[in-house]
């Protein structure tokens, strides 16, 4: 079974046991999170597509780490104008492990945890 999840303005295809790096989410390592913006769920030959989201599906995960990515250098210049500008940027990210993709009325209790986006 797989699902397409939206978080942090991006979409990810996830399966149970996958480890992802997503945009920074609130929470501490070891804390369980709930991703409730599910766009699509597929199992075998069957596929369910949301309009825009599926209501009775959720993905449970666990936060593994809160870190910063590698430094990206941004260098701007204009030739013959004596203009140079060098900047660095490190993006924050959250490492998560997908525990389960749940379907049915039991996954409809989404008030217990926050998505964090």
Render pLDDT for 14-69 as a digit per residue (tens, 0 to 9).
Answer: 999 999 999 999 999 999 999 999 999 998 889 999 888 999 999 999 999 999 99
Assess if residue 112 is contained within a domain.
Answer: no
| Domains identified in the chain, total number | 1
Do residues 77 and 85 lie in contact, with contact meaning Cβ atoms separated by under 8 Å? Answer: yes
Assess if residue 110 is contained within a domain.
Answer: no
Do residues 50 and 38 lie in contact, with contact meaning Cβ atoms separated by under 8 Å? Answer: yes
Determine what percent of the chain is predicted with pLDDT higher than 90. Answer: 80
For the segment 78-104, the average pLDDT, to the nearest whole number, is: 96
Q: What is the pTM of this model?
A: 0.78
Range of the domain at 41: 2-105
Assess if residue 113 is contained within a domain.
Answer: no
pLDDT at 103: 87
| Assigned token pair, 75 | 């260098």
pLDDT at 37: 93
pLDDT band for position 106 (50/70/90)? low
Assess if residue 116 is contained within a domain.
Answer: no
Give Cβ neighbours of residue 90 (< 8 Å, ≥ 6 apart).
Answer: 68, 69, 70, 71, 72
Assess if residue 99 is contained within a domain.
Answer: yes
């Amino acid at each position: 079974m797989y699902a397409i999840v939206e978080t942090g303005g991006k979409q990810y295809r996830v399966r149970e046991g996958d480890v992802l790096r997503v945009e920074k989410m609130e929470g501490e390592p070891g804390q369980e999170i709930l991703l409730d913006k599910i766009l699509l769920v597929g199992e075998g030959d069957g596929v369910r597509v949301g309009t825009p989201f599926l209501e009775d599906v959720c993905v449970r995960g666990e936060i593994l780490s809160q870190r910063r990515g590698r430094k990206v250098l941004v260098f701007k210049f204009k030739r013959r104008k004596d203009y140079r500008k060098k900047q660095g940027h490190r993006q924050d990210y959250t490492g998560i492990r997908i525990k389960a993709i749940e379907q049915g009325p039991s996954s409809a209790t989404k008030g217990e945890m926050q998505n964090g986006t």
